[in-house]
Structure 1
Amino acid sequence: MKSNLIKDTTKQERIALIKQWIPDEDGMEDCGMDLWDIYADYINGVREIAEINASMTGAFMTEEDM
């Protein structure tokens, strides 16, 4: 498996990787998450995927919780 580290990829390869993560029917329209915004630093070579993922925290709620 090829490394996804910034030093081992081009910007085009990083964009292609993020595109792979977005299914045709992503079902994310109403959740307020935009993978392009979340991973913009990775695409632009600023932060690694692991750093971005580690910085994300959130509380997950069900309809019962609301």
Structure 2
Amino acid sequence: MIEEQIHKSVLIKDTTREERIEIVRRSLSCESGCENCSGCALGVGDPFKMFAPYIDGKMEIREINQRFRASYGIH
């Protein structure tokens, strides 16, 4: 079952809103609380706001990450 979750698509077309919330939460280690989150250290503030377009089905994670990297000159 864990393997299925690892290889499951995270594209908007393949996920529900609830699944996207869980994907963001898990990727940010939010189950352990804010002390393990890297969002504030990276200057994005609340990372859920940064990934809101993905959660709402408007923009893929890849696009959000590309914009973030571009804004900091990261290639």
Percent identity, aligned pairs only?
37
Deviations 1:25-45 (A, max 9, x none): 326556542210110000000
Instruction: Give unmatched runs, 5+ long, in structure 1.
Output: 61-66
Larger Rg: 1
Distance 1:55 1:13, change over 3 A: same
2:37 to 26, 31, 37: 26
1:15 to 21, 44, 56: 21
Bigger RCO (CA 8 Å, 6+ sep): 1
Offset at 1:22?
Answer: 2.5
Aligned pairs, number:
60
Q: Post-superposition, which runs of at least 4 consecutive aligned residues in structure 1 deviate over 3 A?
A: 27-32
Instruction: Give unmatched runs, 5+ long, in structure 2.
Output: 1-6
Distance 1:51 1:16, change over 3 A: same
Aligned to 2:3: none
How big is the alpha-carbon RMSD for the aligned residues of Structure 1 and Structure 2?
A: 2.0
- Determine which structure has the larger helix proportion and give its number: 2
